[in-house]
A and B are shown apart, each in its own frame.
Chain A
Amino acid sequence: MKQIAKDEKAVVIIGSGAGGGTLAYELTKAGIACVLLEAGAYLKNEDYHNNEWEAFKQMAWLDARTTSGSWRIAKDFPTLPAWIVKAVGGTTTHWSGATPRFKDYEFKARTTYGDVAGATLLDWPITLEDLAPYYDKAEIAMGSTHRHGRPALPANNNYKVFANGAERVGYKLYATGPYATNAEPYDGRPASIQDGFNFQGDKSKAKWSTLVREIPRALETELLDLRPESHVVRITHDASGKVDTVVYADKSGALHEQAAHIVCVAGNSIETARLLLLSESNRFPKGLANSSDQVGRNYMRHLTGSVYARFDKPVHMFRGETMAGIIADEAAHKPDRGFVGGYYMETLSLGPSFLAAFAEPGGWGPEFAEIMDAYDRTAGMWIVGEDMPQATNRVTLSETVRDQWGLAAPNVHFDDHKNDVAMRNYAYDHAQKLYKAVGAIDSHRTPPYPSTHNLGTCRMSAKAEDGVVDRWGRAHDVPNLFVSDGSVMTTGAAANPTLTIVALAIRQAEYIAGELKKGTL
């Protein structure tokens, strides 16, 4: 592996997930050497456990965090606002794989939805047209089924219930994808063996992640200096206001400095915002790149909710690819439903260990036991829709709680917007109707899990005062600082975010490579 000297001004990428891992590969492929700093360990596919709690303890980001606001998470899981990964490959190592694109009007949410009271809607400074070629590249990289000649995954049991229900209530736009797991061998990786373990890390490598594709390929270029267990604690800048050094703690807590020519932050929205806030200075008293006071604000987590339905016949929802089932009929913007924006329905399954923890947090008694008793006769779906950005939904630094390095923990404050509540109730209702149409005895509305989609804390904006980064993800305030993950999303759209994060990272890499070549960066 390449070793870049600590005093050599390098391109430094922070975080190796969907955004950072993709950027590292695209830049090294273009001949640009990079240092990739990752807080987590270099776990390999064979290290993963086919066991929910063991995997959680092995992979989840469990550093100190706090919550506030009226969302139920603050009550049920007060120290776990988000369920994401700390390891090389980031959260792509245990994502499901659903890869829908954003729709054209979702890049123009303010124009399309109008002035929604309490929401800080804004149009993106880019359009679907700008992103379309990169969506193609991302789908090809990730091997999305139903796209670019990739075949569909077969119907698993959970999908059979889901799709038949969809048909009976009159939905048309259902399919087993797009989904970034191989239905047949592709790109040097095998076909799915339908092992049912996605949220625990995929041992088989059929599922795309930056761990199985971008990072090994970046290492092969001999231009990547990957440093796992390197937790960035501060980014500093020079007298001109350009970032110049990245300070990180190794696993023993010893501090190191890496000189930087360019810094790209991709720590997943909560950590990205926190790192900028922690990097305050005389010049940036509210946090690095935060003259607009927008860093940490407009935190979005998608609408979300799940419905688990019980039948009198076996389903075995846990067998097979967890989320290889998508219904897009409700994804459109149809304000006559009583809310703006739309949502997808996607198959979902948890094992008994996690279903017990998340189906009805805090629940107990005979009704709860009934949910669990029906485990092998249960079908499940997830609802994922656009939530409204709000200035007060926000990542800030805790004044009391510190992490293992003594750094202020992030606090995540969240209140549902009225539009979120209306959409969730409508979606629950329609999910329950779908299952009823196919014979469900009963169904249960499960509240949102700790956030798996974390977006918007450093949003892209045309005007510097409205956001944190420009159309390339470059900080308005700091010309050699980039944000390269889901935090740049101006609004969240209905679709799962990872395809868009990857597309944006490919586009950003092309821009950075171009600017470096021109000598303008």
Chain B
Amino acid sequence: MKTTKRRLLIGSAAATMMASTFAKVAIAKLPLARGGDPASDKALVRMIRVMFPHKRFGDGPYQRTADAVLAAAGKTPADRVAFSAALHDLQASGFTELDDKAALAKLKSIEDTAFFKLVKGTTVTTLYDDPEVWGLLGYEGPSFDKGGYVKRGFNDLTWLPEPRIEEYAGAGQ
């Protein structure tokens, strides 16, 4: 279907209306943990996946990250209300229905907002600090208790020749 300019306008007007009614109802009871409001959970998890898209990751790491974002967003009533309002705006814009490319463009348009920065900052220090993600990325984590990597592949790279380890003995040093 061809999207006309008019349809877009109507769409966004409806979205704004919906957002403002929603906002009145839902902001006050925005859950501080995931699971209270499935629609906003979905939007947040989707947002994080679009920001840091990894095909190999299931929903688990993204959901755990969303929990951390909600915890970080709920520090004061002011933070909480600002965060809920912004998340609702995003939902009301139809964000969860957008394809990857459109969703990315939408996020690009809000990347300077405090809301976006909070989600981004928390995600960077949470999503990649998750043992399941480490496994998916091929990072083996804590090693001392396993005797280090000395017998677990610290030098198992074979696609290049063994290099010299001693200092250069030739002239010109």
Which A residues are closer than 8 A to B by beta carbons? 50-53, 146, 152-157, 159-161, 163-164, 167, 172-177, 192-197, 203-204, 313-316, 318-320, 351-353, 355-357, 362, 364-366, 368-369, 372-373, 375-376, 438
Of the residues A164, A192, A366, contact of B163 by C-beta under 8 Å:
A164
Q: How far is the CA of A365 from the CA of B123 in the complex (A)?
A: 12
B160:A366 contact, CB within 8 angstroms: no
Q: B170: which of A164, A172, A314 is its contact (CB, 8 Å)? A: A172
Chain A contacts for B104, CB-based, 8 A: 365-366
Task: Find the B residue at minimum CB distance from A156.
Answer: B154
Pair B124/A152 contact, Cβ less than 8 Å: no
Contact A194 B120 (CB under 8 A): no
Give the size range of B's interface with the partner: 35 or more
Q: Are B167 and A175 closer than 8 Å at their CB atoms?
A: yes
Indicate if the CB atoms of B153 and A356 lie closer than 8 Å: no
CA distance in complex: A357, B121 (Å): 9
Q: Which residues of A contact B173 (CB under 8 A)?
A: 173
Tell which of A172, A365, A372 touches B137, judged by Cβ atoms closer than 8 Å.
A372
Interface string of B120-163 (1 = CB under 8 A from A): 10011101110001100111111111011110111111011111
Is B99 interfacial (CB 8 A cutoff)? no
Subset of 11 A-B contacts with CB under 8 Å: A172-B170, A175-B167, A204-B148, A314-B138, A356-B124, A356-B129, A364-B51, A365-B53, A369-B53, A372-B137, A376-B139
Q: Are B125 and A53 in contact (CB under 8 A)?
A: yes
Q: How far is the CB of A217 from chain B (nearest CB, A)?
A: 24
Contact check, A364 vs B120: say whether CB atoms are below 8 A apart: yes
What separation, in Å, do the CA atoms of A365 and B104 have in the docked complex? 8
Tell me whether B138 and A194 are in contact (CB under 8 A): no
Chain A: minimal CB distance from B86 (Å) = 16
Cα distance, A21 to B85, chains bound together (Å): 53
The 10 closest A-B pairs by CB, nearest first: A376-B138, A193-B148, A163-B163, A195-B148, A50-B142, A356-B128, A319-B149, A320-B154, A375-B137, A194-B154
Q: Roughly how many angstroms separate A375 CA and B128 CA in the complex, as a whole number?
A: 11
Contact between A320 and B155, CB atoms less than 8 A apart = yes
Central interface residue in B137, B144, B162, by most chain A CB within 10 Å: B144
- Cβ of B52 within 8 Å of any chain A Cβ, yes or no, is yes
Least CB distance, A195 to chain B, in whole angstroms: 4
Measured CA separation A176–B173 after assembly (Å): 16
- What are the residues of chain B within 8 A of A203 when measuring CB–CB? 144
Which of B54, B120, B164 has a CB less than 8 Å from the CB of A369?
B54
Nearest CB of B to A24, in Å: 28
Q: Which residues does chain A contribute within 8 Å of B134, judged by CB atoms?
A: 351-352
Q: Are B163 and A204 in touch, CB under 8 angstroms? A: no
B128, A157: Cβ atoms closer than 8 Å: no
- Tell me whether B56 is interfacial, beta carbon within 8 Å: yes
Inter-chain contact A160/B168, CB cutoff 8 Å: no
Residues of chain B lying within 8 A (CB to CB) of residue A52: 129
The answer to whether B163 and A167 have CB atoms under 8 Å apart is: yes
- B138 / chain A contacts, CB cutoff of 8 Å: 314, 316, 375-376
Q: Given B51, B148, B164, which contacts A196 in the complex, CB threshold below 8 Å?
A: B148
Contact call A194/B156, Cβ cutoff below 8 A: no
Is B157's CB under 8 angstroms from A316's CB?
yes
Contacts A53-B125, A364-B52 given; indicate if A193 touches B157 (C-beta within 8 A): no
A86 to B140, CA, bound (A): 28
In the assembly, what is the distance between CA of A167 and CA of B164, in Å? 10
Query: B146 → chain A, closest Cβ, in Å?
Result: 9
Question: In the complex, what residues of A have CB within 8 A of residue B150's CB?
Answer: 192-195
Q: Which residues of B contact A364 (CB under 8 A)?
A: 51-52, 111, 120, 123-124
- Let me know if A355 and B54 touch, CB within 8 A: no
Task: Give the residue name and chain of the B residue nearest to A163 (CB).
Answer: B163
A368 to B138, CA, bound (A): 17
Beyond known contacts A204-B148, A314-B138, A376-B137: 10 more, CB 8 A cutoff = A50-B143, A51-B142, A163-B164, A172-B168, A175-B164, A175-B166, A196-B149, A314-B157, A320-B155, A352-B128
B143: nearest chain-A partner, CB-CB: A195
Is B144 a contact of A204 with CB atoms below 8 Å? yes
Known contacts A155-B165, A320-B154; A352 and B147 CB within 8 A of each other: no
Asked if B140 contacts A318 (CB within 8 A), the reply is: yes
Is B172's beta carbon under 8 Å from chain A? Answer: yes
Given known pairs A172-B170, A366-B104, the reply for A357 and B160 (CB within 8 Å) is: no
A164 contacts B155, C-beta separation under 8 Å: no
| Contacting residues, chain B, for A373 (C-beta < 8 A) | 54, 56, 137
Smallest beta-carbon distance A86→chain B, Å: 21
Tell whether A357 pairs with B125 under 8 Å between CB atoms, given A50-B142, A195-B143: yes
Complex Cα–Cα for A489 and B104 (A): 48
Q: Could you give, for residues 47-72 of chain B, a 1 whenever the CB lies within 8 Å of some chain A CB and a 0 otherwise?
A: 00001111010000000000000000
Given the interface contacts A50-B144, A152-B165, does A157 sit within 8 Å of B155 by beta carbon? Answer: yes
Q: Is the CB of A153 within 8 A of B149?
A: no
Q: Give Cα distance in the complex from A368 to B53, angstroms.
A: 9
CB contacts (< 8 Å) of A369 on chain B: these are 52-54
A164→B161 contact, CB < 8 A: yes
Once the chains are docked, how many angstroms separate the CA of A156 from the CA of B160? 12
* Smallest CB gap from B172: residue in A: A172
**If the complex has contacts A365-B104, A376-B137, are A174 and B124 also in contact, measured as CB distance less than 8 A?**
no
